[in-house]
Structures are given as structure tokens and as C-alpha cells.
Amino acid sequence: MTLSVLIVDDEPLARQRLQRMLRGEPDLELLPPCADGRSAVAAIGEHQPDLMFLDVQMPGMSGFDVLAAVGAKHMPVVVFVTAHDRFALQAFEAEALDYLLKPFGAERLERTLDRVRAVLGEPAPASAFERFRESSRGGPISRLFVRSGRAIIPVAVDSVSWFASDGDYVAVHVGRTRHLIHLALSRLESRLDPAKFIRIHRTAIVNLDHVKAFKRDDAGQFVAEMMDGTRLDVSRSKARELRELGE
């Protein structure tokens, strides 16, 4: 699946920089960028883009004016791009998917693209759960299906080091790779093997086969030290449970 992308920003250097950052993404088709709100409204009507990176402050017509002019029915997925954080609440009230604060780097942009692909790649919120459900209904799952660019790839659950809640999504950490699936962490937990996967925090589930040790860090916080060196916080209640298991 190729996603058409419209960049709207009155700053030429900002438009060019974002174009360069997005140009290497094989599943993105960059439309001619817009330098003002009026041309953005026209471009949306003509091209019907899947995704729009929209500056907030522009002369004549702001990013929010663009949303009002186009209307929710014809609006693509919107990611606001601005140098001012004071518009963040208004942006999310307008149901923007994300809010990029200039200057942002490649890693932050990639996280945004992960969210976009997860949203546009799923026909319905519940379908992610349906996709990873296996014929052995009710038992622990052995694989997940995640989107990578234009492909959907199977991921062996045993290869996952940990799962982390990320808004309406779950981040699936496999080695140095991170995938997003549209699923509640609690719902995923119900389908994992409890002998291997334990919830150490309301936002994290770890694979015990990938945990090097549970211990206190220099600040006295109980953490799960993963095989790759990552340290994940363990909540106080879970820390007590782990200590009881070791007694």
C-alpha cells in the first residue's frame, strides 16, 4: 500500500527538509508541497492525500483554518508540524494523529510514521486482534502479524523482548526493531503465555526468556534488565510479587 503525502508549510527550508526525510520511505508518495493554507485546501480537493503534514502558523490561513475549510469528511490523516508547543492541546482536540515540534529528528518522525501506518493499515480498530488470533482459539498465541512498510510480516512471539503501551497502540520490541499494533495491552496480555510473559508495570510486559535480571538501580528503583541492556521500570506491586516468588 502506497500512501500519498501532502506537506503544507510556509517556510521553504522546512518543506525541503521534511521532503528529504520522507523521500527514502518506499511506501510514501510525495505530492507537490503547499506554501499556504489556500493552496492546501485546493490540493486536498484535487489529490485527496492519505496523510498531511500541516504547519499551524501560516499567513492568511492557519492550519486550523485549513481543517475548518476542508471539513472532517474529506480530511486526510493530519500531523501538525510547528515550532510552538502551545498549540498541542488544540491540535489533539482537532483529532490530529500527532504533533511534531520543530526541530524534530529522524527517530521522532519514524515513530509518527509507525502510527500513521498502523492507523491507515487497519480497516477497523478490532482487526489487529483478529489478525493475530490463531485457529487454536483461547490458547496462548505463538505469532503476531505486524505492518512493515507495504508488507505484513509474521513475528514469533518468543522473539519479542517486551511489549510497551503507546497510547492506543502496543509497541512490540524485537531486538532493535520496534513495531506498532493497534491493540490494548491488557487484551494482548490475555493471549500471552503467563509462564513466559509477565506484566511488570501497567505499561510494560516482558518476556522472561529475554530478562537478564531483576534488580535495583543506583536510584533504588526496581528494574528489569533486558538481555540487550535496556532497563524497564518495575512497579512497586510487581516488585513485591517478584520478591515473594524468590523467597
Q: What is the domain-level CATH number for residue 83?
A: 3.40.50.2300
Residues 170 and 131 in one domain: yes
- Examine the pLDDT at 211 and tell me if it is beyond 60: yes
Per residue in 148-163, pLDDT (tens digit) is 665 667 788 999 999 9
Residues 187 and 96 in one domain: no
The residues, ordered by sequence, that sit 6+ positions from 135 with a Cβ below 8 Å of its Cβ are none
Q: pLDDT tens digits, residue range 148-206?
A: 665 667 788 999 999 999 877 889 999 888 888 877 888 888 889 999 999 999 999 99
The pLDDT value recorded for residue 139 is 66
Q: Are residues 7 and 110 in the same domain?
A: yes
Of the three residues 120, 144, 173, the one that is the final residue of a domain is 120
Query: What angle (nearest 5°) sits at the alpha carbon of residue 17, between those of residues 80 and 103?
Result: 55
Residue-range definition of the domain harbouring residue 41? 3-120
CATH of the domain at 163: 2.40.50.1020
| Average pLDDT across the chain, whole number | 83
> Do 219 and 181 fall into the same domain?
yes
Tens of pLDDT, residue by residue over 121-148, are 643 333 343 444 433 345 688 888 777 6
Same domain, 113 and 28: yes
Span 77-108, pLDDT tens digits: 899 998 876 666 676 667 788 888 888 888 88
Percentage of residues in the chain with pLDDT exceeding 90? 41
Looking at the fold, whether 53 and 102 belong to one and the same domain comes out as: yes
Residue ending a domain, among 55, 88, 120, is 120
